Amino acid sequence: MIAKLFNRPVCAILRISTRFKATEANNYVVAKEVGDKGILTLNRPNALNAINIDMLKILAATIQKWSDTKSLIIVKGLPGIAFSAGGDLIGFDVNKDNPNYGREVWQTELVMNHTIANMKIPYVALIDGVTMGGGVGISVYAKYCIATENTLFAMPESAIGLFPDVGASYFFSRLQGKLGYYLGLTGLYFALKEFLLSTSAYVPLGQDVLHAGLATHYCRSAELQKMEKALLKLKDTKHVDDVINEFCPKPNSEFSLSKNIDQIDKCFNASSVEEILDNLEKDNSEWAKQTTKTLRQLCPTSVKIMFRNLQLGSNQSFAECLQMEYRVVLRVIAGKNFIEGCRALLIRKDKNPKWDPSRIEDVTEEEILALYEPLPNNEYVKLKDSSALNQYGIEK
């Protein structure tokens, strides 16, 4: 279904998801209370549920409130089409004269991500359709993150001069072997040929999202409504596992990257991005050539930022990863590459960004390290104290 509806590159989806502007935020986030349970539905169809600042505030406030007052939360999007295509980046152009806009966006978003990851009640995310960027942030930390045959999971921020955030330094660095390095550095531009006809990349789709470790369960889209009704009827949420397992049998497919896992582990086991590129050149397989092409198409500075994020994130708590990403992102969105990426892919749409530096080899270590320095006045994200993370089991 996804391939049929969106037969175009991920950058085209980014453009679709950011060209529409909400007039009434309440129309795009539907909060429904069913007894002691709550359902959050993203409902901005013309923008594939891209999340603008008003929607983000409503989501964050509702999730925070319900985490203390409800026994279960379900979050979902447009069935079979989109959970959420990410953040509404056009807002950065509209609010370009507001120096605090980006700060407000990321403060709100990262606090919400942290709340979800540390939630004590069952939180169920139904990622039935396109799930990108900010949409990943409100789903990947769910105790029950349920993919379907329609799920397309991508974090293409490096294509616009940004980098995968919302804690990507945490969850990518904890995937099997070097898989997270491969997925994080390529921006999850994996090669689903019938979907990304104009790139060499691969996007995790359907059961692959579960195999990769980016979802906890897999369910047929047609069964989601029945599962939702069964969850809402529960008198005791201690039985959530029983309901979800009833509708989510073990997948019957093999991970499509299984044949490349050894190559991924070998090529991405490196101390720098340049060493990864050298390893790929030595491999010289078609897969290696396609992976090199993908890395070369992205913003060089973004690729190096993501590599460092993964190195650091593997030894940091979730809260520390969010603080690190916050420092870097405030500097990146004020820089020339993010502005250029938005211009080339989202505004003028000439698809020809002029990155500076233009090559991975020309991005210096000094330039990257400067992005990680403490912010003026030691600014940071104000996170609540956390208990053990409900999915990954690592404390703050």
Of 157, 228, 325, 340, catalytic = 157
188 — pLDDT class (breaks 50, 70, 90): low
Selecting among 38, 77, 134, 184, the annotated active-site residue is 134
Q: How far apart are CA 282 and CA 276, in angstroms?
A: 10
| Residue bearing the bigger pLDDT, 324 or 205 | 324
pLDDT 10s digits, 315-326: 999 999 999 999
DSSP secondary structure code for residue 229 in this structure: H
Q: Over the chain, what is the mean pLDDT?
A: 87
Q: How far is 189 from 77, CA to CA, in rounded Å?
A: 22
Residue 305 pLDDT more than 90?
Answer: yes
Paired residues of 131 in beta bridges: 84, 153
DSSP state of 347: I
- State the CATH class of domain 2-378: alpha beta
Catalytic-labelled residue, pool 88, 128, 165, 228 = 165
pLDDT bucket at 26, cuts 50 / 70 / 90: low
Residues with Cβ within 8 Å of 396's Cβ and at least 6 positions away in sequence, in order, are 317, 318, 319, 320, 385, 386
Sign of CA dihedral 145, 287, 159, 3: negative
Q: Does 350 score more than 90 pLDDT?
A: no
Catalytic residue at 165? yes
pLDDT tens digits for range 124-145: 999 999 999 999 999 999 999 9
Q: For residue 375, report the phi and psi dihedrals to the nearest 5 degrees.
A: -75, 160
Give the pLDDT confidence of 36-75 residue by residue, as tens digits.
999 999 999 999 999 999 999 999 999 999 999 999 999 9
Q: What is the pLDDT of residues 5-25, one digit of tens each?
A: 333 344 444 444 443 333 344
User: Is 134 one of the catalytic residues?
Assistant: yes
Say what the pLDDT of residue 204 is. Answer: 63
**3-state class of 58 per DSSP?**
helix
Which pTM value belongs to this model?
Answer: 0.89
Calculate mean pLDDT across residues 303-317: 97
Q: Sign of the C-alpha dihedral, residues 266, 272, 276, 281?
A: negative
Whole-angstrom distance, CA of residue 52 vs CA of residue 32: 20
Helix-then-strand count for the chain, H and E: 18, 9
From residue 242, alpha-carbon distances to 165, 213, 385 in Å are: 33, 21, 30
Q: pLDDT band at residue 298, thresholds of 50, 70 and 90?
A: very high
Q: Which residue of the set 38, 77, 87, 187 is catalytic?
A: 87
